A and B are shown apart, each in its own frame.
Chain A
Amino acid sequence: MPIFKSSTLSICIAALLLTACGSGGGGGSADAGAAPSTSSTPAATPVVVTQTSSEAAEVKTEDLVAPEDFDFATQQTYSLTVTAPKAATSQQVRVYHNYVPAPAGSDSAYLADFQSLLASTRLTGDSLTLDLALSVTTQSLLVELWDATGAAPSQAIITLRDDTRTLEWSFN
């Protein structure tokens, strides 16, 4: 891979303007190929060159230089473990990514948006682990634990964080 192709250079420059490249945004370099896919910092060396805004406006996608193994993913996979005490009746875990507060006087704190259902699974044993692929825009999850009596479910809100893909909740 060349250190800089001419088109790459100009685009890198433009991209720097667009994205405050000095903070770590990248261009292409021979080192980029060595960057591990898990790295959050592109291996490319930023280059700062004065550029006019009109030139910046001509930046094209094809001239961006992506980290070698960048997956372009807009979703992230989380591992959610739900723990609950064993109950006499079978228990059901349901996970939603959208919900609203319930009206005053309700048996539950939240109302689920049923269209945002991610998983509906019986809890066998004490715990259950679900792999959930979530859009990066997902902020939090509503987790419900139901039993077969139709009583109001136990509910939990789990807020997603950037620094972990492992989520846990215990209904104990």
Chain B
Amino acid sequence: MAIRNSIRHIQRAAAFGVCAIAFATAAQAEPFTTCPSKAFLFQGDPTTVYGVNLATGTYAVLQANTGITGTINAVGFNDTDRYIYGFARDQKAVVRVDQDFKATYLNVTGLPNGANFFVGDTFENTYYLYRKGLGFYAIDLAPLATDAQATLQATTITTNASVNLTDFAFHPLTNQLYGVDNGTGILYEFDRTTGAARAIGDTGVTGTFGAAYFDVEGFLYLSRNQDGYVYRIDLGSVAIAELAGPTAELFAFGPSSSQNDGARCANAPIIDEDEPATIDFGDAPASYGTLIQDNGARHSLDGETYLGISAPSGKYNGPDNSSFEDADDNGVGFITPLQTGLDAVIQIIASKAGYVNAWVDWNQDGEFTDASESLLDDYLLKAGANNLIVRIPEDAAAGATWARFRFSSQQGLLPAGGATDGEVEDYAISVAEVALDYSHYPSASGWTTLAYEDNWPETADYDMNDVVMALRYSEVVNRDTGNIERIDIRGRLLALGGSYHSGFAIRIPGVPATAIDNARLQLRINDIAQPAPLEAGREEAIFIVHEDLQKAVQSNCSYFRTQTGCDQSITFSFDLSIPFDKAFSASNLPAAPYDPFIFGSPHYYHGDAFSEAPGRSLEIHLPDQAPTEAFNESFLGLAQDTSVAEAGRYYRTANNLPWAMEVASDWRWPLERVDLLKAYPNFADFVLSNGASNNDWFTPANRQTDKTF
């Protein structure tokens, strides 16, 4: 074999220039420098090598000329030397493929004469070949480390090879080979030392699975030649898969081919976070199929196929918490209320013509898979705005649920799985039994920022970052009665730069506590339900979000998100849903943001102005906002405070400055102990002009970036 291959190689080199190139390439053939996350698909005759992103099915030609004639099959990535090994059909010879996907013939003895192999993979510097009816062989690749022309020895593992395979792959965790019988769909495990094949179970799919790959988590991917479909089988635990059945799920849509083989570095994750993110994910809860490990909905980004007025940015995975909001989700407008049994108007904005599929979890079971939950099925959108009428089922459960919209040039997308282009947008929606009107402050997806100094009644240092909270309000009104049905408030603690322990609460002035439906009142912090937040024993509706924000977050530094080099994720988010159970006219509701305030955490020192820990009886509000009934009015006028209750003057210094401010937008607060004026110089003129000029002092254009967080 080795002699034959060498002779043929020399003959071809003499006869065809291309072989001379192959030799030249072989002389400088370099291995891969990394363990790549892409899968390499060898297709066609002569072989073209594609790089396939298994997460989305997108692929690109990496090499159209491997330097040899005919097909290369039975390929496997050898993590020891980082070359790909395969079997060249024309010459019936083993080849080594370098990082440029140029192939070099190898000298191998011990394989059956004249045999061709389509099934192969590598493991621990050994190349394994399998052919039904012929046998199972191993070739030690170690000699190549010192001599690229070394003659390799193939050893026979077994000649008993009866499974109808077209590829198999080494599991990076069990170190055994796995492949699916094309005719039966049965998954087999092959012992690499004895060659014994053991049936694991039925995958539920059949076809010519010409390429098989593993990832580092133990997922087995199968690329089917006929249609390019990529299936995934969870073999993270083979024992569990054997018990539950190794069911294959459709994972992505890749390239189809009559001839197919694949290689991949099994120790690589399927998404390489060292490379720029190029995939869009949804953001519905994980039960809907959002994360890559759950085969979540995802689209490769092409910059031109998307929903809404802006292209989405890439992500490495779906969100791991419910507080995440995808700023790119701007493609679907729910124009009219979603009312059970009635039609609703929705508007979908598409960047170009393409297909949209959509689902709504009408029964609120956390999945989109029920038969009646398909809202749009391969609906062809035109570029721009598309107005559609959809029917809300009679039996749709009233309340909050999720909808998923997937837009792509591809048809047939399911609620989960990869797509080669487009975008997925998930929406938290509300289905009602009555017609509802909505208003939002500052907008449906915007934030207003409340910034507090906690030193009251002492003069503050005006870094305005002792408590910084972003808030958003949605008011839901029964359009038939004009009464408030519900108020939803979402908040995020942006920064905590104070030393005192402070709680955070929101009062709705003028709304009696008795108007609130306490049974349905809900506060969720970081998506975890909390005890009813309506403060007991109060006449007015006061909602305690958290009694001690210092205990709600853990900072990497002395303070939470106020110091240079101390950036960390937002870790405190809340959703407060306030249903009303007594008729309360929306016209009597005060304007948002109502009265958000901080208060002293019980039992904690709060400055020398207080003879003992003031706790809940200390409140700090926006200027001229009267404190609540829980406040100790004897505190008014202490230290630098110049409050005069009779005059409606509260929480101001002698210079009329406040201890709390609202900035009605996203806002970057000053760094720790950096005066507000240093961060936002135009604030001075804003104040001194009574707001007549520089009222945009807080915008990014007017910010000193080195003075703000």
Contacts and interface: CB of A to CB of B under 8 A. Distances in A.
Given A19-B685, A64-B687, A73 B653 contact: no
B108 interface: no
B591 A74 contact: no
B439 A119 contact: yes
Given A1-B654, A71-B624, A72-B687, A113 B309 contact: yes
- B-side binding surface: helix, strand, loop or mixed? loop
A90 B345 CA distance: 12
Interface string B318-358: 00000000010111110110000001010101000000000
B685 A25 contact: yes
Contact of A94 (B335, B655, B675, B689): B335
A39 B665 contact: no
Interface in A139-172: 146, 148-153
Contacts of B592: 133
B542 to A, nearest CB: 22
A20 B688 CA distance: 11
Contact of A64 (B330, B440, B684): B684
A133 B664 contact: yes
A146 B684 contact: no
B329 A115 contact: yes
Q: Which of A61, A71, A108 has the most CB of B within 10 A?
A: A61
B699 A137 contact: yes
Interface in B367-401: 383-385, 387-389
Given A105-B384, A115-B446, A120-B437, A41 B690 contact: yes
A118 interface: yes
B655 A62 contact: yes
B677 A118 contact: no
B333 A26 contact: no
B691 A100 contact: no
Nearest to A33: B656
A26 B460 CA distance: 22
Interface in B664-696: 664-665, 675-677, 681, 683-685, 687-696
Interface in A1-51: 1-2, 5, 8, 12, 14-15, 18-21, 24-28, 32, 35, 39-42, 44
A84 interface: no
B689 A8 contact: no
B665 A137 contact: yes
A122 to B, nearest CB: 5
B387 A151 contact: yes
A121 B480 CA distance: 11
B596 to A, nearest CB: 14
A107 interface: yes
A150 B462 contact: no
A117 to B, nearest CB: 4
A62 B690 CA distance: 16
B657 interface: yes
10 contacts: A18-B684, A35-B690, A70-B656, A111-B309, A112-B333, A117-B333, A133-B664, A137-B665, A146-B335, A150-B389
